[in-house]
Chains A and B, each alone.
Chain A
Amino acid sequence: MSGRMGIVLKNVMKKKEVLYFMLPGLLLVILITFFPIIDSVQFSFYRTYYLELKEFIGLKNYAYFLNNPSSLRSINASLVYVLGTVILSLTLGFLLALVFNRNIRFRGVFRTIAIIPWIISQIVTALLFKWLLDPVYGPVAYYTSLVSDIQFSYLSNKYTAMLILILVNVWRSYPLAMVLILAALQTVPKELYESATIDGASGIKAFFHITLPLSQSTLLVTAILLTINTLNMVTLIYMLTGGSPFGFTEVLSLRLLKEAFHFWNLGMACTIGVIMFILNVLFGIIYIRILHRETIY
């Protein structure tokens, strides 16, 4: 920074001005995000009756939650849902980014189409597939019934419900991966590929030695963003399966919603909330670390 800039900066470091610019925002965020986090942690140590705090019970809510087979099923469902979504979305997003990084015909049109699922709400996405897979009137059921002569209900089958849920979530999640990875690919200097071709390394070799290493941190950031989004997602799952069949798709976030607003079990809801915070913080720390490394100079 130049010397003149230094003089201006000195002029503006008055406390009053900093407060004027920062205080309203900080107050709002503290009031609506920080305090509720503290409250949630506190409530998770209490027995509650509807919305009232009863007595302090320490870690009993946690012990109860973790010793419950249905909780383990929820944790398992979350894990499968997150892993499935992240792996498939990253793969699909990466492949599409590679395609759109080339000079193909109608690139603009195809790219616009590929982005569309991103701009459709979770509730409408759920309805789209619910109707497409409708066991009686949906085209998928009809055409599969021509082949197998049973009308199959994908969303009420133990084995296919989670698979469908993951595929639907991939449908709306891969564009984020595609856009982020495409942006990263476009910063890779073309000369690198040219000199690789001269050295006799093109195609698959160039991909593994140039493209992949240079987009590594973008891939990691994207994976974390997808993980956080998927882990915390409620609406899509609530609308598509609502946790059925038999709780097989009842992920942690959905279970939290049910504990809070169906069973009015505030203490348990906050307990699950704290478990989710911890998971988010773990992923968040990795994310912020990468960002910190890249943006702070």
Chain B
Amino acid sequence: MKHKHSSLLNFFTYLFILLVSAFVLAPLLWFLVTSLKPTADVLAFPPRLIPRSVTFEHYSTIIFGSNASTYFKNSLFVAVSTILLTLIIASHMGYAAARFKFIGKNYILFGLLATSMIPGIAILPVLYLLSMKLNLNDTHIVLILVYSAWQIPIVTWIMRAFFESINPELEEAARIDGCTRMQAFYRVILPLSQPGLAASSILVFIYVWYDWLVAQYLTISENMQLVNVGLYSYIRDTGVEWGKFTAYSILTIIPVIALFLILQTRFIEGLTAGGVKG
């Protein structure tokens, strides 16, 4: 009796995860198949789930026949700059929070956490106005500053937790050897913090790479745009060309999926920590 019961449970468990896997994979496969179909087949009726032939024409049109390469370069530049600025600033704050005692520390820490819950869309109109006033509108600098300011709070919390897990005796030893507090931080602690820095970098990278909202409204010129703004304009300006749309879309998510498959654990750490600001 008992055995029967558990094998029934097993059956439903596998049925359930197979259904979920289908729910996840079906839209993705339909997308992937479309991107590899010849244009004539994309709009075939009834829809062809398995293409008659495979072609990379849509990918080559996007890579060589559109501005996508400029957008990819822009996104890479903005993402790397944001990662550097955010990590430098947030690791300092996280360190101070982990090791120093000072007045108002808890207020600052929870104040920071509270800012990471501020809806970006709610202050975007004012930021737009501010960027116009400062003549920073339509520059990459304004994007880097906004992205950094919005990611610093959560990365500070990640780094603080990380530094707290490092034994303080390491710094003590360095201090006894004649290092100043700052030297001990730069030479001993930071090099030990690579896992925390890696998880944070992934979080920031995905945030910047996937943002559409901020980049859409704080940049105007064609040659300033980031990948998702480019994707959106491409879809808006081109007639219905699902072969090309799907190819373009897949190109934008490939870097992230590759990172995910290579660094799964770190990736999930970073994403979980960033759960607040998706």
Fill in one digit per residue for B68-87: 1 if any A CB lies within 8 Å of its CB, else 0.
00000000000000000000
In the complex, whether A270 has a CB less than 8 A from a CB of chain B is yes
Do A18 and B96 touch (CB < 8 A)?
yes
Q: Is chain B's interface secondary structure helix, strand, loop, or mixed overall? A: helix
Do B30 and A256 touch (CB < 8 A)?
no
Kindly identify, within residues 177 to 213 of chain B, every residue whose CB is under 8 Å from any CB belonging to chain A.
181-182, 206, 209-210, 212-213
State A290–B30 Cα separation when bound (angstroms).
42
Within 8 Å by CB of B93, from A9, A22, A95, A142, lies: A22
Total contacting residues, chain B, CB less than 8 A: 97
Do A12 and B121 touch (CB < 8 A)?
no
Fill in one digit per residue for A113-128: 1 if any B CB lies within 8 Å of its CB, else 0.
1111111111110011
Which chain A positions have C-beta within 8 A of B40? none
In the complex, whether B224 has a CB less than 8 A from a CB of chain A is no
Q: Is chain A's interface secondary structure helix, strand, loop, or mixed overall? A: helix
Known contacts A40-B123, A273-B119: A235-B213 contact under CB 8 Å? yes
In the complex, whether A4 has a CB less than 8 A from a CB of chain B is yes
In the complex, whether A26 has a CB less than 8 A from a CB of chain B is yes
Do A176 and B114 touch (CB < 8 A)?
no
Inter-chain contact count A-B, CB under 8 Å? 261
Do A131 and B30 touch (CB < 8 A)?
yes
Which chain A positions have C-beta within 8 A of B108? 22, 26
Which chain A positions have C-beta within 8 A of B267? 119
Kindly identify, within residues 7 to 65 of chain B, every residue whose CB is under 8 Å from any CB belonging to chain A.
13-14, 16-17, 20-21, 23-28, 30-31, 34, 42-47, 49
Do A253 and B119 touch (CB < 8 A)?
yes
| Distance from A168 Cβ to chain B, minimum over Cβ atoms (Å) | 9
Known contacts A17-B182, A114-B24, A119-B260: A138-B126 contact under CB 8 Å? no
Residue in A closest to B17 when the chains form the complex, CB atoms: A110
State A234–B245 Cα separation when bound (angstroms).
21
Which chain B positions have C-beta within 8 A of A280? 117-119
Which chain A positions have C-beta within 8 A of B235? 127
Which chain A positions have C-beta within 8 A of B264? 112
In the complex, whether B225 has a CB less than 8 A from a CB of chain A is no
Do A266 and B125 touch (CB < 8 A)?
yes
Which chain B positions have C-beta within 8 A of A253? 119, 121
Q: Which of A39, A122, A131, A270 has the most CB of B within 10 A?
A: A131
| Distance from A223 Cβ to chain B, minimum over Cβ atoms (Å) | 12
| Distance from B84 Cβ to chain A, minimum over Cβ atoms (Å) | 13
Known contacts A12-B181, A33-B123, A121-B253: A176-B45 contact under CB 8 Å? no
Do A132 and B26 touch (CB < 8 A)?
yes
State A121–B75 Cα separation when bound (angstroms).
14
Kindly identify, within residues 151 to 174 of chain B, every residue whose CB is under 8 Å from any CB belonging to chain A.
152-153, 156, 168, 171-172
State A31–B96 Cα separation when bound (angstroms).
21
In the complex, whether A11 has a CB less than 8 A from a CB of chain B is yes
Which chain B positions have C-beta within 8 A of A136? 45
Do B268 and A266 touch (CB < 8 A)?
no
Kindly identify, within residues 81 to 120 of chain A, every residue whose CB is under 8 Å from any CB belonging to chain B.
92, 95-96, 99, 102, 104, 110, 112-120
Do B126 and A43 touch (CB < 8 A)?
yes
In the complex, whether B219 has a CB less than 8 A from a CB of chain A is no
In the complex, whether B115 has a CB less than 8 A from a CB of chain A is yes
Known contacts A17-B182, A116-B28, A120-B253: A137-B242 contact under CB 8 Å? yes
| Distance from A30 Cβ to chain B, minimum over Cβ atoms (Å) | 9
State A140–B242 Cα separation when bound (angstroms).
16
Do B172 and A21 touch (CB < 8 A)?
no
State A104–B20 Cα separation when bound (angstroms).
15
State A296–B106 Cα separation when bound (angstroms).
9
Q: What are the 9 A-B residue pairs with the smallest beta carbon separation, nearest first?
A: A273-B122, A32-B149, A21-B96, A232-B119, A121-B210, A260-B125, A36-B123, A36-B126, A128-B27
Q: Can you list 18 contacts pairing A with B, beta carbon distance less than 8 Å? A: A20-B92, A28-B152, A33-B149, A33-B150, A40-B126, A112-B261, A119-B253, A121-B253, A131-B34, A131-B245, A132-B27, A138-B47, A139-B30, A228-B117, A260-B124, A273-B121, A281-B117, A284-B117
